[in-house]
């Protein structure tokens, strides 16, 4: 088994590839109900008012029609961002299997079977017979409709494509909460996330234009530099804290030429690389980068890999760390402590 840092760095790179997919697919249409319509009441008096049960979604986040069981007792998750949200919804004890990238996340059963994120063992998933299987774009990397055997076995497969924006993150949480009948808790999570990000944005609004700083966020280290352009939640977070992404003119997750970073000369360099021993020291000693403002001033900072790689409610942690690193005078260096 790979070490934990290797799994998490794989998540970062697979995430970038997965965001190019617009939907997971493979869930198919929901079967029509065979039950007859309920007869009209025989009495003329109005029935006693009963609170309406929360409605389960009838389509998943990819747009596929689904029929979610009224009672979900067992869940398998094949993406760490989804695993974290299910745990945060208070349903960690219902998870009976999860992907290798989720190993080590707090709240998951340590003895549950694990599955490869990209190519899970379909036969083993069928044998596990969960009520719901949660998949994201990560689990459909270079594949086409791999979950038909589970659908044929009666497993409800819910696809939540990897979120591209902060708004997507909130909608994903709301969907998962509704799918499992935890609407109230889901609303609390979204509200807490929105409030925390709103506080950061309010502080950013007080930063004078002449003090705005440029940022390069490194996802993969030399020699295969990888970063984020516009249209991603990380780019949104950079802007939300009042900074400027040096790659804002580039779309999506992108390979980067070292010369482009040197030419842009960022004020601050952020990195979430965790598959080398000391990514900050590597950047500070990188050939040809000694003259960069960020390197010269020692403003190269590591940002938590899990918080910044997984698009869920925990992006708040990444945003706070980014804010403290870029604008310590405004946000405070201990903001994310």
What one-character-per-residue DSSP string does 205-266 give? Answer: TTS-GGG--EEEEESB-TTS-EEE-BSSHHHHHHHHTT-EETTTTSBSEEE--HHHHHHH--
* Mean pLDDT, the chain, whole residue set: 87
Q: Would you state the pLDDT for residue 151?
A: 94
Between residues 190 and 24, which one has the greater pLDDT?
190
Judging by beta carbons within 10 Å of its beta carbon (0-12, 13-18, 19+), is residue 22 exposed, middle or buried? exposed
Of 308, 311, 337, 314, which Cα lies nearest the Cα of 218? 308
Residue 85 lies in a domain: yes
Q: Would you state the pLDDT for residue 124?
A: 97
Q: Would you state the pLDDT for residue 141?
A: 61
Q: Would you state the pLDDT for residue 146?
A: 86
pLDDT tens, residue by residue, 135-180: 998 787 666 778 999 999 999 999 999 999 999 999 999 999 999 9
- Which residues on neighbouring strands pair with residue 65, listed in sequence order? 59
331, two tokens? 């946000």
In a shared domain, residues 184 and 252: no
pLDDT tens, residue by residue, 113-123: 999 988 899 99
What's the rounded mean pLDDT across residues 78-91?
97
80, two tokens? 């760490």
293, 324 in Cβ contact below 8 A?
A: no
Q: Would you state the pLDDT for residue 75?
A: 98
Q: Would you state the pLDDT for residue 287?
A: 96
Strands of the sheet containing 300-302, edge to edge, are 244-245, 214-218, 268-271, 300-302
Q: Would you state the pLDDT for residue 53?
A: 58
Domain boundary among 144, 160, 188: 188
Report the C-alpha dihedral over residues 201, 205, 208, 213, rounded to 10 degrees.
Answer: 20
CA atoms within 13 A on the CB side of 229: 12
d(CA 14, CA 252): 13
In a shared domain, residues 215 and 141: no
Q: Would you state the pLDDT for residue 139?
A: 80
In a shared domain, residues 211 and 181: no
* N residues, the chain: 337
Residue 34 lies in a domain: no
d(CA 31, CA 49): 31
Which whole-number Å values give the CA distances from 40 to 51, 67, 93, in the listed order? 19, 26, 40
In a shared domain, residues 138 and 14: yes
% residues pLDDT > 70 (the chain): 81
In a shared domain, residues 11 and 99: yes
Residue 199 lies in a domain: no
Domain boundary among 161, 188, 215: 188
What's the rounded mean pLDDT across residues 47-53?
50
Residue 27 lies in a domain: no
In a shared domain, residues 131 and 234: no
Q: Given a cut of 60, is residue 277 above it in pLDDT?
A: yes
Q: Given a cut of 80, is residue 24 above it in pLDDT?
A: no
Total of domains in the chain: 2
Q: Would you state the pLDDT for residue 314?
A: 95
Residue 29 lies in a domain: no
Q: Would you state the pLDDT for residue 143?
A: 65
Q: Would you state the pLDDT for residue 332?
A: 85
CA atoms within 13 A on the CB side of 101: 30
Q: Given a cut of 60, is residue 20 above it in pLDDT?
A: no
Residue 11 lies in a domain: yes
pLDDT tens, residue by residue, 181-235: 999 999 999 999 999 999 999 999 999 999 999 999 999 999 999 999 999 999 9
Peptide bond into 259 cis (omega under 30): no
d(CA 216, CA 250): 12
What's the rounded mean pLDDT across residues 278-287?
98
Q: Would you state the pLDDT for residue 38?
A: 38
pTM recorded for the entire structure: 0.84
d(CA 140, CA 146): 8
311, 173 in Cβ contact below 8 A?
A: no
What's the rounded mean pLDDT across residues 48-52?
50
pLDDT-based confidence at residue 52 (cuts at 50, 70, 90): low
At 115, give phi and psi (nearest 5°).
-135, 150
Domain boundary among 188, 219, 249: 188
Q: Angle at which helices 183-204 and 233-240 pack, to 10 degrees?
A: 50
In a shared domain, residues 275 and 144: no
- Which residues on neighbouring strands pair with residue 99, listed in sequence order? 115
What's the rounded mean pLDDT across residues 92-114?
96
Q: What share of the chain is helix, strand, coil (3-state, %, to 5)?
A: 40, 15, 50
Q: Would you state the pLDDT for residue 41?
A: 38
Write out the H or E segment, with its range, that includes residue 135: strand 132-135
Q: Given a cut of 50, is residue 29 above it in pLDDT?
A: no
Q: Would you state the pLDDT for residue 117?
A: 86
d(CA 214, CA 264): 9
Domain that holds residue 288: 207-331
In a shared domain, residues 183 and 316: no
- What CATH number corresponds to the domain at position 253? 3.40.50.1980
């Amino acid at each position: 088994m790979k070490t934990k840092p290797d799994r998490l760095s794989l998540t970062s790179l697979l995430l970038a590839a997965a965001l190019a997919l617009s939907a997971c697919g493979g869930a198919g249409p929901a079967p029509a109900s065979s039950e007859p319509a309920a007869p009209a009441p025989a009495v003329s008096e109005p029935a006693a008012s009963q609170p309406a049960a929360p409605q389960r979604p009838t389509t998943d986040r990819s747009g596929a029609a689904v029929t979610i069981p009224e009672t979900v007792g067992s869940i398998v998750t094949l993406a760490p961002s989804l695993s974290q949200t299910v745990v945060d919804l208070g349903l960690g004890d219902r998870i009976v299997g999860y992907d290798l990238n989720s190993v080590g996340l707090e709240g998951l059963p340590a003895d549950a079977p694990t599955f490869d994120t990209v190519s899970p063992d379909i036969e083993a998933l069928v044998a596990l017979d969960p009520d719901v299987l949660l998949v994201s774009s990560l689990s459909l990397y270079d594949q086409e409709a791999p979950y038909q055997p589970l659908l044929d076995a009666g497993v409800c497969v819910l696809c939540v494509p990897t979120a591209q924006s902060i708004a997507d993150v909130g909608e994903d949480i709301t969907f998962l909460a509704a799918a499992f009948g935890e609407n109230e808790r889901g609303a609390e999570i979204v509200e807490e996330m929105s409030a925390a990000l709103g506080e950061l944005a309010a502080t950013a609004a007080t930063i004078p234009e002449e003090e705005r700083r440029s940022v390069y966020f490194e996802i993969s280290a030399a020699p295969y530099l990888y970063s984020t352009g516009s249209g991603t939640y990380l780019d949104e977070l950079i802007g939300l804290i009042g900074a400027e992404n040096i790659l804002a003119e580039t779309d999506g997750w992108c390979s980067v030429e070292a010369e482009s970073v040197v030419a842009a000369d960022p004020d601050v360099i952020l990195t979430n690389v965790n598959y080398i021993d000391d990514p900050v020291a590597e950047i500070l000693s990188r050939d040809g980068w000694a003259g960069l403002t960020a390197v010269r001033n020692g403003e190269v900072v590591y940002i938590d890999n899990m918080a910044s790689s997984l698009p869920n409610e925990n992006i708040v942690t990444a945003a706070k760390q980014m804010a403290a690193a870029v604008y310590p005078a405004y946000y405070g260096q201990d903001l994310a402590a």
